[in-house]
Amino acid sequence: MKLFSFLTPLRHTALILRLARREVSSRYRGSFLGLAWSLITPLIMLGIYTFVFSQVFKIRWGSLEEGTGEFALRLFSGLIVFNFFAENINRAPNLILENPSYVKKVVFPLEILPVTQTLSAFFNAATSSLVLILGIFVMGRDLGTAMLYLVPLWCALIFVTWGIGWFLAGLGVYLRDLRHVVSMGLTILLFLTPIFYPVTALPARLQKIIYLNPLAFFVEQNRNVFMANQPPDLLTLGIAMIASCIVAWGGFRLFEKMRKGFSDVL
Partner 1 sequence: MFSNAEKEQGADTGLEIQEKRHAVRIRNLSKKYRIYNRPRDRLLQMLNFTGRRFYKEFWALQDVSVTVRHGETVGIVGRNGSGKTTLLQLICGTLTPTSGSVDVDGRTAPLLELGSGFNPEYTGMENIYVNGTILGMSTAEIESKLESILAFADIGEFVHQPVKTYSSGMYIRLAFAVAIHTDPQILIVDEILAVGDAAFQRKCIQRFYDLRNGGCTILFVSHDAYQVKAVCSKALYLRRGRAVMFGDAHAVVDAYVEDLQKGVIEPEAPASTASPERQAPLRITRVRMENAGGRCVDQVRSNERVALCFQYERLDPSFEGAVSFVFNLYRQDGCYVCGATTLMEHMAPFPVQDHGEVVVSFPELPLTAGAYVWRVAVNDAGGMMVHAQEKNVCPFRVVDNFRSVGIVDLKREWTIR
Q: Is residue 143 a contact point for partner 1 (CB under 8 A)?
A: no
| One residue of 3, 4, 5, 18 binding partner 1 per CB under 8 A | 18
Q: Cβ(133)–Cβ(225) under 8 Å?
A: no
Nearer to partner 1, 18 or 180 (CB): 18
To partner 1, the closest distance from the beta carbon of 185 in angstroms equals: 19
- Select from 8-16, 75-83, 86-94, 187-195 the region that touches partner 1 (CB under 8 A): 8-16
Q: Is residue 31 a contact point for partner 1 (CB under 8 A)?
A: no
| One residue of 183, 187, 236, 263 binding partner 1 per CB under 8 A | 263
CA distance linking residue 120 with residue 123, whole number of Å: 5
CA distance linking residue 61 with residue 256, whole number of Å: 44
Q: Is residue 181 a contact point for partner 1 (CB under 8 A)?
A: no
To partner 1, the closest distance from the beta carbon of 5 in angstroms equals: 14
Q: Which of residues 79-118 bind partner 1 (CB under 8 A)?
A: 101-108
CA distance linking residue 90 with residue 184, whole number of Å: 10
Contacts with partner 1: how many residues (CB under 8 A)?
25
Q: Is residue 180 a contact point for partner 1 (CB under 8 A)?
A: no
Nearer to partner 1, 21 or 141 (CB): 21
Nearer to partner 1, 4 or 137 (CB): 4
| One residue of 3, 5, 22, 48 binding partner 1 per CB under 8 A | 22
Q: Is residue 24 a contact point for partner 1 (CB under 8 A)?
A: no
Question: Per-residue contact track with partner 1, 192 to 231, x per CB under 8 A?
Answer: ----------------------------------------
Nearer to partner 1, 11 or 208 (CB): 11
* Distance set, CA 212 to CA 157, 193, 209 (Å): 15, 10, 6
Interface with partner 1 (CB under 8 A): 11-15, 18-19, 22, 26, 101-108, 174-176, 260-261, 263-265
